[in-house]
């Protein structure tokens, strides 16, 4: 039995590299996906955000956030989703799928709690699917 995590990241992100290292050290097997080319539909992306505030959906280090072009705390849900879909660099990362749960951002306590609930056998993966070898 293994702990399987689908991990949507920004390639070459140092923070994501550290997070993946933590997950692997805790016995997780990762399926890595490029967040900038995620291919998610709006409703699918929305499921990662859960009940968190709209402002929590955004990566505070994204250039448009840092320089004040976008103020996430002023956005409604629909406007926020349009921005995230159009510019994935704005999405707080990583996005993770653990079992049937979807998480946005790396809250170590929350990740640990979710991992404790899901220890699953390795699924069969069709590596001809888009993104499998990314």
Q: Roughly what angle, to the nearest 10 degrees, separates helices 77-86 and 42-49?
A: 110
Tokens encoding 64: 């448009």
Please choose, from the candidates 8, 4, 3, the residue with its C-alpha nearest in 3D space to the C-alpha of residue 104.
8
Residue of 13, 28, 127, 132 marked catalytic: 13
Q: What residues form DSSP beta bridges with 9?
A: 34
Q: Is it true that the peptide bond before 94 is cis, omega within 30 degrees of 0?
A: yes
> Which ranges constitute the DSSP H helices of the chain?
14-25, 42-49, 63-66, 77-86, 108-117
Tokens encoding 128: 């001809």
Is 127 catalytic? The answer is no
Rounded Cα distance between 63 and 17, Å, is 20
Cite the active site residues: 13
């Amino acid at each position: 039995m293994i702990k399987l995590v689908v991990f949507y990241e920004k390639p070459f992100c140092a923070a994501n590299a550290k997070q993946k290292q933590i997950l692997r050290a805790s016995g997780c097997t990762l399926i890595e996906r490029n967040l900038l080319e995620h291919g998610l539909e709006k409703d699918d992306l929305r499921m990662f955000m859960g009940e968190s505030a709209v402002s929590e959906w955004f990566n505070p280090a994204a250039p448009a956030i840092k320089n004040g072009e976008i103020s996430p705390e002023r956005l409604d849900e629909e406007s926020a989703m349009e921005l995230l879909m159009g510019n994935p660099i704005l999405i707080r990362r990583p996005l993770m799928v653990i079992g049937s749960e979807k998480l946005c951002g790396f809250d170590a306590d929350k990740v640990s709690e979710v991992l404790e609930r899901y220890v699953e056998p390795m699924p069969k993966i069709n590596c001809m699917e888009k993104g499998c070898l990314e």
